[in-house]
Chain A
Amino acid sequence: MIFLDLFIAFFKIGLFSFGGGYAMIPLISEEIANHGWMNEAEFLQIIGIAEMTPGSIAINAATFIGFQTAGLLGALVASLGVLLPSLLIILFISAFFFKYSRHPLMKKIFSGIRPVVTGLIFSAGLLIAKEVIFEIRTLIVFLALLVIIKFVKIHPIMLIVLAAGGGIIVNIF
């Protein structure tokens, strides 16, 4: 059943993602591939949309994928799935976290998890780059962005808007 599949997939993603939205990308990509919910190009569009719209990338991606696969109810089920694990953890064992978040064991555990999360985010970049960077127009915009941010500090949302404009320009010429 599609709703149960969506819920379980996003519950799993919510339960095992540390460090926010970007680190979730490899996990989401794995679930999508396993279920055959969409192709790489569609997934890329979703990441782009999730970036551009307000709110957390995780919820945005869950809502969009849920909607694309099973309509509004799918969107709700996927969003609920992704936010439920942390909500339950906080509701029932936050006292534990308040007490032990500074314990040396916790610190060590996270010193082991953090490089994995960094690797997951880096891999997310590679997985996406592999799909599109050989597209010469995308590469041109990418290099242009690199040059621009060398000289000015730009808010991520402005960077996206700028890149969208760049995409139109390179396609016209």
Chain B
Amino acid sequence: MLNRMLKLFFSFFKIGIFTFGGGFAMIPLIEKEIVDRRKWIHREDIIDLFAISQSIPGAVAINTATLVGYKVAGRIGAIIATLGVALPSIVIISLIAIFFGEIADMKIVAWIFTGINAAVIFLIFHASLRMGKVAVKDVLTTIIFIVTVVVVVFTDISPIILIILGGLIGAGLYYLEKGDRV
């Protein structure tokens, strides 16, 4: 059991170190490590876990780690896998934060960031377009999308309210359609 916990920790520690660009970039690594190498979970089942990890709040990468840990070794497994995947970030970012204060004022750092900002904007719009292909596909979802953007950009209303409203609209639709069928 201890052996398995250690393996679980190091598998996710490794995944945490080697993924750049957030949760969705982690998916192929998790498949390779958990399905192909460790054979802890079947390929069909891991796809379900990815789907569930996106329907739970929080970072997709962390959620997937927690879910896999839970499937492999119960609640302790969930905690261990979560710590494993989060620890590299915490260590690396803390190290950067320690030294960043000293280099932040350097000219070359400012130069580098004029470039990086451009890449970040690009990556974010790209992610939004990719997600929009699945999420925004009829009049209602287009309206929800536009209202969200307008509210976030022009008002101080919390995005949390919008997420709750979006969920309520979805639930309302379910009951409306169900009502039609009866």
Contacts and interface: CB of A to CB of B under 8 A. Distances in A.
A89 B163 contact: no
A94 B124 CA distance: 30
A58 interface: yes
B8 interface: no
A82 B67 CA distance: 16
A67 B150 CA distance: 32
B182 interface: no
B131 A60 contact: no
A101 B55 contact: yes
Contacts of B70: 90-91, 94
Contact of B22 (A21, A116, A172): A21
Given A59-B90, A170-B115, A123 B149 contact: yes
Contact of B118 (A87, A109, A163): A163
B106 to A, nearest CB: 12
Contact of A111 (B100, B112, B141, B162): B141
A165 B60 contact: no
A58 B58 contact: yes
Contacts of A25: 124
Contacts of A17: 57-59
Interface residues of B, number: 93
A24 to B, nearest CB: 8
Interface string B152-169: 110000111011011111
A55 interface: yes
Interface of B: 16-26, 48, 51-52, 54-63, 66-67, 70, 75, 78-79, 82, 85-86, 88-90, 92-94, 96-98, 100, 104, 108, 110-125, 127-128, 131-132, 134-136, 141-142, 144-149, 152-153, 158-160, 162-163, 165-171, 173-174, 177
Give the one of B26, B88, B115, B166 with max A CB within 10 A. Answer: B115
A83 B78 CA distance: 12
A48 B131 CA distance: 21
Nearest to A65: B97
B56 A86 contact: yes
A44 interface: yes
A50 B63 CA distance: 18
18 contacts: A16-B159, A18-B57, A51-B116, A54-B92, A64-B96, A72-B94, A82-B59, A87-B79, A94-B67, A97-B52, A101-B55, A108-B177, A118-B132, A118-B148, A128-B117, A128-B121, A138-B118, A171-B110
